[in-house]
Amino acid sequence: MNLVLLFTMIIASIAFVAIVMLVTRWISPRTFNRQKGEAYECGIPTQGSTWIHFKAGYYLFAILFLMFDIEAVFLFPWSTIVQELGIKALVGVLFFLSFLILGLAYAWRKKALEWK
C-alpha cells in the first residue's frame, strides 16, 4: 500500500504542476517581442553562451560529499541496532569513524576544504 501511495504522490505532483502550467498558459496573455526572449542579465546584451568550461571550485566538495554520504548510508542501518549490540556497536563504529575522520583530516591538510 505504501508503494502504491508513493506512486500516487509522484503522479499527483506531476499532475499538479502540469495543470498549473497549462492553466497559466491558457489564461495569460501572449505577445511577441524579440527583446523578451533575451536572457535577463541586468539589461546588458548577453555575451556568448553560458554553457562553457566553468571553473567550479565545488567539485572537490562534491567528491568529499560522496565519501561522507556513503558513510551515512552505512551508518543508518547501524544506528537502528545500537541498543541491541551495546558496547560492540560502539567499538565497531569507533573504528569506522576514525577512518573517516582520518580522511577528513587528510583533505583538510591538503587544503581541499579551502575555497579558492
CB of 67 to another protein, least distance (A): 10
d(CA 80, CA 33): 59
Helices (H) and strands (E) in the chain, counts: 4, 0
63 binds another protein (CB under 8 A): no
Q: Does 95 bind another protein (CB under 8 A)?
A: no
Q: Distance between CA 73 and CA 16 in Å, rounded?
A: 32
70 binds another protein (CB under 8 A): no
Residue ranges of the alpha helices (H) in the chain? 2-27, 59-80, 82-85, 87-109
The footprint of another protein (CB under 8 A) covers 1-2, 4-6, 8-14, 16-18, 20-21, 23-25, 27-31, 36-42, 46, 49-51, 54, 56, 58, 61-62, 64-65, 68-69, 72, 75-76, 79-84, 86-87, 89-90, 93-94, 97, 100-101, 104, 108, 113-115
